[in-house]
Amino acid sequence: MINKKYLRILFVVYLLILLRVIVFKYPLERLQEIVASWRSDVLWEGMDRANFVWFRTIKMYVHYWGYKSVNSFGNLVGNILVFIPLGYMLPRLSRAFQNILICLGTGLLVVLAIELFQLLTAFGSFDVDDILLNELGILLGYLFYKMLSYFISNKSLTE
């Protein structure tokens, strides 16, 4: 298995990539424009674009699944896949996160921080469906960790 020191480094790299992909997804020039034009009323702009209704975005993606103009598959699956590493790495890094509720709760805090940042800054848009899909990704990562741990412990018992 991978050394914890390298896993910590990999985890930091993952978090940086996560921030780049989700929060700072715009080109640097666009980010500079957004920051330069930021106003105190940007919060209301974020509220206008926000989705607070469960399954609204998911239903829309499913409805437009076959249309080429809407990247439904990428948005749905991407919101899940991008958080699988978090659910896998947290319990690998610390015994405390091996408790599913602590792992999912910590993941939820990370996801909420990202979504609230998007809401308050208008860097992206707040969506409760993203929270649901991201948590599903964390759960899948955690379950992958548990399955891998089970197979590794059973393999060492048979050797």
pLDDT at 23: 78
6-to-12, 32, 76 alpha-carbon distances in Å: 10, 34, 30
Task: Give the model's confidence band at 48: pLDDT under 50 very low, under 70 low, under 90 confident, else very high.
Answer: confident
Mean local confidence (pLDDT), 52-58 = 94
pLDDT at 40 > cutoff 60: no
CA 131/CA 22 separation, integer angstroms: 13
CA 66/CA 159 separation, integer angstroms: 50
Mean local confidence (pLDDT), 11-40 = 77
pLDDT at 35: 65
φ, ψ of residue 25 to 5 degrees: the values are -80, -15
pLDDT at 1 > cutoff 80: no
**Which has the minimum average pLDDT: 34-43, 111-120, 123-132?**
34-43
CA 20/CA 106 separation, integer angstroms: 20
Q: Find where tokens 């690998």 sit.
A: 92
First and final C-alpha spacing in the chain:
16
Mean local confidence (pLDDT), 23-45 = 66
For the whole model, what pTM was predicted? 0.86
CA 60/CA 47 separation, integer angstroms: 19
pLDDT at 38: 61
Q: What is the pLDDT of residues 67-114, one digit of tens each?
A: 766 677 788 899 999 999 999 999 999 999 999 999 999 999 999 999
How large a percentage of the chain has pLDDT more than 70?
Answer: 82
CA 13/CA 31 separation, integer angstroms: 21
CA 107/CA 101 separation, integer angstroms: 10
Mean local confidence (pLDDT), 106-133 = 91
In this structure, are residues 111 and 127 in contact, taking their beta carbons and an 8 Å threshold?
A: no
pLDDT at 34 > cutoff 80: no
